[in-house]
Amino acid sequence: MRSMKSRDLLILLLFVGVLSLLPALGLSRYVLGQITLFILWAAVVSQWNLVFGVAGILSIGHMALFAVGGYATALMGLYFGMSLWWTLPVAALAGLLMSLVMAFATFRLRGAYVVVVTLAIAMTVYQLLVTDVACFRQTQSVCYSFSGGARGLSRFGDFGFRELLGYSSAPLGNFYLSLIMLALSILVAIMVVYSPYGQAFKAMRDNEVCAASRGIEIRKYQAIVFAVSGVFTGLSGGVYAGVIGTFGPQVLELPTLLFLLSMMVVGGRGTIWGPVVGTIVLALIDEGFRDLAAWRNTAYAAVLSIILLTLPEGLMGGFASLRKWALSPRKEG
Amino acid sequence: MTHSPQHLLEVRGLTKAYGAMKATNDLSFHVDRGEVLGIGGPNGAGKTTLFDLLSGVTPPTAGRILFEGADITGLGASAICHLGISRTFQLNAVFNSQTVADNLKTCAYFGSEKRLVPGLSYDRRSEIRAAEVLDLTGLTDYADVMAGALPVLQLKLLMIGCAIVSHPKLLLLDEPVGGLNPAEIETCAAVFRQLRDFHGTTIVVIEHVMSFMTAFADRIMILHHGAKLHEGAAGSLADNPEVVDVFLGVSGAADSRKGAQAEEVGNATS
C-alpha cells in the first residue's frame, strides 16, 4: 500500500509538471481558457469521487457544495469588495457547511434514496437562486437581486492577475492557480485513500454491516468523507468564480451534473486517476464537437453508454483488468 | 471495577420481535470465560438473530445483555466490537476491494479500540497484529490478493482472521465451516483450537456440522422457535429425544455421538 501511495504521488508530480509546461506551447487564449476550465472540473470530480466512488455514498447533489463555495466568493467580492483571495477560506467553509447538511440528510438513507435526497437538496438551492427576483440593488435603470437570480453574478472582482502580470498574461495566472487547486485536490484524495480513513470509507462501501461490526463508526466516517470533500469542493467553487469571472445557477443544472458525473463514470469511480482520465476524455469530446453543438450532448451520452456497457468500472477499471491479465502467468500452450 | 463477574457473557430474557413473530423468545443463558458454547437448531430457530443482538447489529425488543458484568444492551455494533465482542457472518463478509493484508490491518486498527481521530497511517501494533493473524490463519501467501478474488476456504479464514485480529475476549462464529469439505473443516478447527488453547479466547459457535460442533464445543445449546430447547454437555445432545426429533434426526444423532467420542479420544491421548 505504501508503494502504491508513492507511485501515485510520483504520477501526480509528473502530471502537474507536464501540465505546467503547457502554456509554453504558445496556446491560444481560448484553448488555455478551456484547459483551465477542465482543470477545475477535474479538481471537483476528484473530490466528488471520494464520496461517490471511494465511500460509495451515491450523492449526486455534489454541485451544491461547489455552488455555495462559488457564491460565497462572488457575494463577498461583490458586496464587501474583498480581495477574492480572502474569500477562499469562506468558500471552503461554505462547502463544509453544505456538505454537513448533505451528510446529516443522508445518514439513515442508502442507495437510490441517497440519490433522490441529494439531488433534491441541489435542486432546492437551484430553485432558491432562480426565484430570487426581489430588487436588492439598483444600478442606473437595472434592478439586481441579492444572488443575481437566474442571471447569476458578475463583476465581483478577480484574483488580481491583471495588475500583477499585465492584461495579456492574466490567463496564465488563472491557469496556474487552477492547476494548484487540482494538485491540491488530487493530493488530498491520495492522502485520504491510502490512510486508515480511506480504508474505512472503502470498508463502508464494500459491506456496511461488517464494517460496523469491525469497529468502524459508520456515521462518523460518512460525515468525515462529506466534510473533506465539502471543504475542497467549496474551495474549487471559489477559485472557479474568480477565474471565470461570473458565477450563476447554471452549475446546478442537469447538463452540468451529467457532464461531471460522466467524467467520473467514464474515468472510473473509486480510483485516484479515474476522474482525471474521464475529464480528459470528456474535454476531447467537448472540443471535437465544438462545431456540432447540437450533437455535443448526444456524444456525451453515447460515450457514457458505451463505457457503462463495455467497461462498467470505467477506463481505469478496464486498464487495471488489462494489466492484471497481461501480468498473470499463462500456461504454455 | 471491583466487581468480578463469574460469567463473561450473561443474557437475561432476551427477546426480539418482528411484529407477532418472536425470532428470539425470552432467552436466558451464560458463557463462562475460556469455554466454547455451541449453538444449534433448525433453520429459522433464531441463531443468527441472536448473534445480531449480541453484536449490536440489531437492538433487542426486551431483555438484557451483560458483558463482563456491564450492561451492553442497545449499544451499537462498533461500540460492542471495541468492548471485545467480535463476530463473523454467515455470508461472505469481507472488504472485497481491499487486499487480504489491508482487510486485517483495517480490522485490527478500527476494531481494537475506539479511534477518536485516526492517524494518516496504520500504527505499528495493527501491522504486527495483522502479520500475526496472517501467520495463524496460513494466509501469508495470499497477503496481497484482493479479498474479492479469494477461494472459499481462504475467504472463510480471512473472515475469521478479521474477527480475531482485534483480540476479542468473546468470539461469535456464525457457521464458520459451512460449505467446507472435511479437510478444510480441519484447517479451520485447528485455528479455533489455537485460539481457545493459546489465546484463551471464549467462543460461541453456530454450526450445522454436528460432528465438528460436538468435537469442539464444551456445552451445546439448541434453539427452536427462538427459545431454548436443550442445554448441556456436548455428549448429551443425542440423548434428548426432543432434540433428535426437532433437529438432529436419527443419523444426525449418530454423527453427534461420533464427534463427542472423537473429542474424548483426543483429550485422552493429549
Closest CA–CA distance from residue A95 to any residue of chain B (Å)? 22
List the beta bridge partners of residue B32: B7
Write down all domains in chain A, each with its CATH number in brackets. 1-248 (1.10.3470), 252-332 (no CATH)
pLDDT at A111 over 70: yes
Q: Which residues contact A42 (CB under 8 A, 6 or more apart)?
A: A182, A185, A263, A275, A276, A279
Cβ pair B188, B177 in contact under 8 A: yes
| Buried b or exposed e, range A187-197, using 16+ CB within 10 angstroms | bbbbbbbbbbb
Q: In terms of CA atoms, which chain B residue is nearest residue A199? A: B106
Confidence of residue B237 (pLDDT cuts 50, 70, 90): confident
Per the structure block, which three cell numbers stand in for A181? 487547486
What does the pLDDT read at residue A105? 95
- Residue A228: alpha-carbon gap to chain centroid: 13
Closest CA to B82 of B57, B63, B55, B59: B55
What does the pLDDT read at residue B262? 64
Closest CA to A229 of A142, A323, A103, A314: A103
Q: What is the pLDDT of residues B180-204, one digit of tens each?
A: 899 999 999 999 999 998 888 999 9
Can you tell me the distance from the alpha carbon of B156 to that of B163, in angstroms, rounded to the nearest whole number?
11
* Chain A environment of B112 (Cβ under 8 Å): 215
* Chain B environment of A196 (Cβ under 8 Å): 106, 109-110, 115, 118-122
Mean pLDDT to the nearest integer, A117-146 = 89
Can you tell me the distance from the alpha carbon of B24 to that of B29, in angstroms, rounded to the nearest whole number?
12
Mean pLDDT to the nearest integer, B246-250 = 73
pLDDT at B259 over 80: no
Of A191, A197, A199, the CB nearest to B102: A199
| Buried b or exposed e, range B211-230, using 16+ CB within 10 angstroms | bbbbbbbbbbbbbbbbbbbb
What does the pLDDT read at residue A1? 63
Contact between A203 and B112 using a beta-carbon 8 Å cutoff? no
CB contact A218 to B (< 8 Å)? yes
Of A203, A213, A217, the CB nearest to B55: A213
* Chain B environment of A202 (Cβ under 8 Å): 95, 97-98
Closest CA to A147 of A169, A176, A168, A125: A125
Sheet holding B21-32, edge to edge: B21-32, B7-18, B62-67, B70-71
Mean pLDDT to the nearest integer, A155-176 = 90
CB contact A202 to B (< 8 Å)? yes
Domain regions of chain B by residue span: 91-167
Closest CA–CA distance from residue A229 to any residue of chain B (Å)? 16
Element (H, E) at B230: strand B227-233
Contact between B93 and A205 using a beta-carbon 8 Å cutoff? no
Mean pLDDT to the nearest integer, B121-125 = 93
| Least confident piece of the model among A86-95, A136-145, A203-212, B210-219 | A136-145
Mean pLDDT taken over chain A: 92
Mean pLDDT taken over chain B: 89
List the beta bridge partners of residue B86: B171
* Chain B environment of A270 (Cβ under 8 Å): 97
List the beta bridge partners of residue B36: B203
CB contact B199 to A (< 8 Å)? no
What does the pLDDT read at residue A329? 63
CB contact B162 to A (< 8 Å)? yes
Q: What is the pLDDT of residues A14-43, one digit of tens each?
A: 999 999 999 999 889 999 999 999 999 999
Q: In terms of CA atoms, which chain B residue is nearest residue A188? A: B120
Determine what percent of chain A is predicted with pLDDT higher than 70: 98
CB contact A207 to B (< 8 Å)? yes
Per the structure block, which three cell numbers stand in for A221? 466516517
Can you tell me the distance from the alpha carbon of B105 to that of B127, in angstroms, rounded to the nearest whole number?
6
Contact between A214 and B94 using a beta-carbon 8 Å cutoff? no
Of A203, A209, A217, the CB nearest to B106: A203
Tell me the one-letter amino acid at B155: L
SS (H, E, C) A157-191: CCCCHHHHHCCCCHHHHHHHHHHHHHHHHHHHHHH
CB contact B119 to A (< 8 Å)? yes
Contact between A205 and B97 using a beta-carbon 8 Å cutoff? yes
Contact between A196 and B86 using a beta-carbon 8 Å cutoff? no
| SS3 of chain B: helix, strand, coil, percent, to 5 | 45, 25, 30
Of B57, B82, B119, the CB nearest to A215: B82
Closest CA–CA distance from residue A227 to any residue of chain B (Å)? 14
Longest dimension (CA), chain A: 83
Residue pairs between chains A and B whose CB atoms are closer than 8 Å = 97
Q: Strands A153-154 and A246-247: what pairing? A: antiparallel
What does the pLDDT read at residue B235? 78
Contact between A196 and B119 using a beta-carbon 8 Å cutoff? yes
pLDDT at B136 over 80: yes
| Buried b or exposed e, range A222-260, using 16+ CB within 10 angstroms | bbbbbbbbbbbbbbbbbbbbbbbebbbbebbbeebbbbb
What ipTM, to 2 d.p.?
A: 0.88
